Structure 1
Amino acid sequence: MHSVFVTTKLRLINDLLGQLREREQVAAVCYRIRKLKIEFLLVRTRKGRWTFPKGGVVRGLSRAQSAALEAFEEGGVHGRIEQASFTSYVLGKNRSSQPAQAVEAYLCEVQRLGTPEEADRTPTWFSAETAQSCFQEGRSTQDANELGRVVVRALAKIERRMNEMEIAIGGI
């Protein structure tokens, strides 16, 4: 992972330049492994719902770097982000006021947490089951299910990696 240190001012400038096309969205699916249990870091949206750190792709950064920046700004995350998206999800398919929003998701293994730049985000660790329950609060069933599916895919990928590491260690 490449460390990403971009100021909020750069983001403001990027926003002011105003890309006319719809902004591409990315999310950091942040996790840690504690006592062989996988936990996910969720943050609050401005409306108070739990979600993954998410935002637009920043001009000049890759999608993965943009996801890492969101994790840092919203969750205070310092970690390793994968360079390839492991899944995508769509929110808001049934809303008429806003178009559906496709989001590319990137796994981010959290090494440590610092203070988030966005103080109102309340980064909190949850088990996979509790995270899926949190997604139900204040969302359509379809959106909650989409976010829950991301957790299931993340678990499968992380558990597969854990098993591969166990096999590699056992073969030494």
Structure 2
Amino acid sequence: MIKQLPVTLPAAQKGDVRTQIAALCYRVRNGKVQVLLVTSRGAGRWIVPKGWPMHGKTPAAMAEIEAWEEGGVRGRCDGRCLGVYSYSKQIDGLAALPCLAMVYPVEVRDLARNYPEKSQRKRKWMSRKRAAKLVDEPELSRILRDFDPRVRA
């Protein structure tokens, strides 16, 4: 487990790049790695669970929280960041905000039938290759395609 410090949140300016924490939820079945994607609330695009940083929480804890809220995942994050990807987040009535998402692996131990955003999202297990084709962000696609929890750096 990597030692992490809690996040502190300074004030941000309107045009600043925003950071989000993303969870790459995975399991290994019959020797094959599968990842869990969820749909976005608005357009229904396939994404990984992600959210805004929370004051006083570590990135690993935030990845576990987002995995639970958006996908019903009960799992564990070891604290290593797999990479980052950029995208523009559309927020009602505002210009698109530039965002940078830090991706953390969350090993899925259990999937709940009921979870906070169940009525707002779909979730689906798939291969890394299929997931890489379904997401819109090229950098996230590469992270998904290259991810293998069986190989430690």
Query: What's the counterpart of residue 107 of structure 1?
Result: 105
1:24 paired residue among 19, 25, 30? 19
Matched-pair identity in %: 35
Considering fraction of residues, name the structure with more helix.
1
- Distance in structure 1 (CA, Å) of the matches to 2:105 and 2:37: 13
Matched, 1:50 2:46: yes
Query: What's the counterpart of residue 40 of structure 1?
Result: 35
Considering fraction of residues, name the structure with more strand.
2
Q: Which string of whole-angstrom CA distances, capped at 9 and with x for unpartnered residues, describes residues 108-157 of structure 1?
A: 1101101221022212101112112221xxx4xxx2x12211113323xx
- Distance in structure 1 (CA, Å) of the matches to 2:139 and 2:147: 13
Q: CA RMSD for the aligned pairs?
A: 2.3
Query: What's the counterpart of residue 9 of structure 1?
Result: none
- What aligned pairs does 1:76-87 form with structure 2 within 5 A after superposition? 76-87=72-83
Query: What's the counterpart of residue 167 of structure 1?
Result: none
Query: What's the counterpart of residue 116 of structure 1?
Result: 115
- Distance in structure 2 (CA, Å) of the matches to 1:129 and 1:83: 24
Query: What's the counterpart of residue 144 of structure 2?
Result: 151
**Partner AA of 1:45 in structure 2:** S
Q: How far has the Cα of 1:45 moved from its partner? A: 0.4
Q: How far has the Cα of 1:19 moved from its partner? A: 6.8
Rg (Cα) greater in structure: 1
**Partner AA of 2:58 in structure 1:** S
Q: How far has the Cα of 1:99 moved from its partner? A: 3.5
Q: Which string of whole-angstrom CA distances, capped at 9 and with x for unpartnered residues, describes residues 53-104 of structure 1?
A: 00011112111111110000001111111212121111139xxx42421111
Q: Say if 2:84 and 2:139, in contact at 8 Å, map to a contact too.
A: no
Q: Where in structure 1 do 4 or more consecutive aligned residues deviate above 6 Å?
A: none
**Partner AA of 2:144 in structure 1:** V
Q: Which string of whole-angstrom CA distances, capped at 9 and with x for unpartnered residues, describes residues 12-42 of structure 1?
A: xxxxxx9741653100100000110100000
Return the TM-score normalized by structure 1: 0.70
Q: Secondary structure at the match of 1:58?
A: coil
Return the TM-score normalized by structure 2: 0.78
Aligned pairs, how many?
Answer: 134
- Distance in structure 2 (CA, Å) of the matches to 1:62 and 1:125: 26
Q: Say if 1:87 and 1:150, in contact at 8 Å, map to a contact too.
A: yes
Structure scoring higher RCO (CA < 8 A, sep ≥ 6) equals 2
Q: Secondary structure at the match of 1:83?
A: coil
